[in-house]
A = this chain, B = another copy of it.
Amino acid sequence: MVINSDRAAQTEREVEESILAKLKGNAVIGQSGGPTCVINQSLVGIVREALKHEEIQGIYGAAHGVRGIMGEDLLDLRQESDATLEAVAATPAAGLGSVRMKPTADDCARLLEVFKAHDVRYFFYIGGNDSAETAHIVHEMAERDGYEMRLYHVPKTIDNDLLVTDHCPGYGTAARFVAHAILGDNLDNRSLPGIKIDVIMGRHAGFLTAASILARQHEDDGPHLIYVPETVFSTQSFLEDVAGVYERLGRCVVAVSEGVHDAQGKLVMQSSEVDSHGNVQLSGSGALGDFLAGLVRDKLADRFGKLRVRADTLGYLQRSFPGFTSQVDAEEAAEAGRAAVRAAVGETPHGSIALRRLDGSTYRCETFVTSLDSVAGNTKSLKSEFLKGDNDIDSQFVDYVSPLAGDVFQTGRLHGKRVTKRLS
């Protein structure tokens, strides 16, 4: 269900009723899940919009999401100066602290108890689909309990895997980082040729890995191969792909999602081939990259001799590198926060904020409200039009991601007119 937040024309009577119906009380804001570089833009967007609405009295921040609410660990955000809020907005990672916690029924009962004790009538939860689910569960419990509350989920994820919305705040900046990381790595690989494997975040959705396509500026630029979880990864095809590129260019840059898996859906890092190498970790680890590099080194040695093969796992920098933010992403994250407050004090007491891309040659997006349950619990992947075979991304995806990531560094390359040889 998609509800546009644009207010319909109201009669005077309706306006009056709407004023009478103002729900007075305090607001709690929480941040949840893996941080992003712009999650604090949403936080500050909510605070600044909330300050404009007199029905919102206390503006509290929950330390580490629902865990902080359960422990009554609330920060008084009205005490923060405008300068602090501005600095926090531009700072990566959750300023309030984050949490990975799916509250149980008992936990939700406790949340409601705390909300009642502090007269909390507005709850804004910034996070991914799990956070939408939390907001949804609390909403249902409050309704059963007859406790009037406005609950909003504000989208955030570098994975870009939320349903309904065109894209998620946090993704654009992470995509920007990945594009530049691969762009630099391609230049490095062109300087000192070899085979380079870069492992990019994304367990189920390949949006972030696909953003590496923005690194291509010349015909021979990497990434030469892109593997995402939306297709089946076969180590045999991978080796053939790499050999083909290496034969053609004398080098190869590979962008691969951490979530690549075989036809049975088994992660490459959980397949028996890997288990036989010893204990491997699946997160915050270089295991997949090292495994693939070892595979290339071993299996292509017969054909090419000793190869220079390296792997990097881009890791947490993708979601936390400071000072390299996409402006569009930062603005949309702030606007998503503001839109949630406007909607919550308006006609739609609960929901999730989504983004809709408008038609036209210039990129523009507007926010709208979608229901909590349309976002809760589920995720989306790259649509098939964005895939190109099983080892590349279609150029259509460039149109999708470019405005979100912002301008990409333009590389210079020597024309390279050769001097005539004089020796044999």
Contacts and interface: CB of A to CB of B under 8 A. Distances in A.
Interface string A63-98: 100000000111111011100111111111111111
Nearest to A195: B284
A330 to B, nearest CB: 13
Interface in A254-312: 277-279, 281, 283-287, 289-290, 293-294, 309-312
Given A99-B192, A100-B192, A190-B97, A284 B293 contact: yes
B317 A317 contact: yes
A188 B417 contact: no
Given A412-B95, A414-B75, A312 B323 contact: no
Contact of A309 (B81, B284, B423): B284
Interface in A191-206: 191-192, 196
Given A58-B419, A284-B293, A294-B279, A188 B320 contact: yes
Contacts of A316: 184-185, 188, 196, 310, 312
Interface in A318-355: 319-324
B286 A188 contact: no
A300 B185 CA distance: 36
Contact of A419 (B74, B309, B319): B74
Contacts of A321: 180-181, 184
A286 B286 contact: yes
A294 B279 CA distance: 10
B188 A84 contact: no
A365 interface: no
A125 interface: no
Contact of A312 (B185, B196, B311, B313): B313
Number of copies: 2
A416 to B, nearest CB: 5
Given A290-B281, A314-B317, A317-B314, A72 B188 contact: no
A123 to B, nearest CB: 15
Contacts of A93: 184, 187-188, 190-191
A72 B192 contact: no
A49 interface: no
Interface in A159-198: 180-181, 183-185, 187-188, 190-192, 196
A34 interface: yes
A35 interface: yes
Interface stretch (A111-119, A237-245, A366-374): A111-119
Interface of A: 31, 34-35, 37, 40, 58, 60-61, 63, 72-77, 79-81, 84-100, 113-114, 117-118, 180-181, 183-185, 187-188, 190-192, 196, 277-279, 281, 283-287, 289-290, 293-294, 309-317, 319-324, 409-419, 421-423
14 contacts: A60-B419, A76-B419, A80-B415, A88-B414, A92-B188, A93-B188, A96-B414, A97-B191, A114-B423, A181-B317, A281-B294, A312-B317, A322-B409, A323-B324
Shortest 5 CB-CB contacts between residues of A and residues of B: A286-B286, A87-B412, A284-B310, A312-B315, A184-B320
Given A74-B418, A188-B320, 4 more contacts: A283-B310, A286-B290, A314-B317, A322-B411
